[in-house]
Structure 1
Amino acid sequence: AGMGECGFDAAVSTCQHLAEQVGVDVTQVLPFSTGVIGQPLPIDKIIAAMPDAVSRLSETGWLEAAAGIMTTDT
């Protein structure tokens, strides 16, 4: 997912978009991902889904958020 310069640029862009969505400085956003090794993440889809995801944030939704980033690697 975080693959070279393109992966770095995608991570920075994603963090910037999320920071804008939640109203924080980009330095307060930590990037992380799971996915197929060697395959770039669909950044456009991730950014497009942010408003809906942010609208559903809650203090009690941590378990659902954790389950959403679980890897399928064994």
Structure 2
Amino acid sequence: MFKTKNVAIAALALSSLLIAFSGSHPTSSSGGYTSAPGDGVCSQCHTDNNTSLDGDYTVTGIPVDIEANTTYTVDI
């Protein structure tokens, strides 16, 4: 009984640690780079190299008058 209880506690502790650290790598969803207090910021890895991108885009399909509960197709 005592050994089974220790194994269960160890398994629970290991599972908790795995879950706690599963999202801590920078390539995961937040990775600790959310700019929240105590967190890092995206610019620690991503520099300003892409701020001078140039290009054009066109948005079509936006009507002059919009009616409630109506679906519109907008192309970009």
| Category of TM-score, reference length = shorter chain | under 0.3
Higher gyration radius (CA): 2
Higher RCO, Cα 8 Å, sep 6+: 1
Larger helix fraction of residues: 1
TM normalised by structure 2 equals 0.27
TM normalised by structure 1 equals 0.27
